[in-house]
Amino acid sequence: MAEFFKVFTVILFCSLFFSKMGMPAACILFKFNMFKVILVSCVGGIGGSIFYVYLFAAIIKWWDKRKHLKSGGKKKIIFTKANRRIIKIKHRFGLLGISILTPLILSIPLGAFLAERFYKNKPKVILYLSVCTIFWSFVFYFIYYGFYDSLKGWLF
């Protein structure tokens, strides 16, 4: 039963904060083996990506509908400084950039929100987020276990 709670904790952490809480918990705190770390972190990250993409798609759809009703059917686009900055980031980095940064710097929910807001193709968004999650899972595993002895002094 204790093992189930460890696995569930890592899945939950990976679905929220992949690089900040999920992978360190799996590698350092619970000391899972390589197969278990990769499997559990990928399940958490990919499951979180799927869940948050569909959740934010529903929220965005509801918000846009609410905004449309509130404005009386008029759709007025206002170009502000923030809007221009968001469009510039979208054009510069694209879906691949958002997907690469999601497990590393951003959280899974924030990356899923940004990807869903800019790109409406759910299967493509989920595929990109999933592939990048698997890639970062392997990278973090080898970083944590490759440098465990030098990191141990900082962490404990």
> Rounded mean pLDDT of 78-95?
79
Q: Which of 27-36, 49-58, 77-86 shows the lowest mean pLDDT across its residues?
A: 77-86
Residue-wise pLDDT tens digits, 7-25: 999 999 999 988 888 888 8
The structural domain count of the chain equals 1
Residue-wise pLDDT tens digits, 118-150: 888 999 999 999 999 999 999 988 888 777 666
Domain hosting residue 95, numbered range: 2-155
Tokens of 154: 């900082």
Whole-Å CA distances, 138 to 38, 142, 146: 7, 6, 12
Give 50's contacts (C-beta < 8 A, 6+ positions apart).
Answer: 126
Whole-Å CA distances, 113 to 72, 117, 126: 27, 6, 11
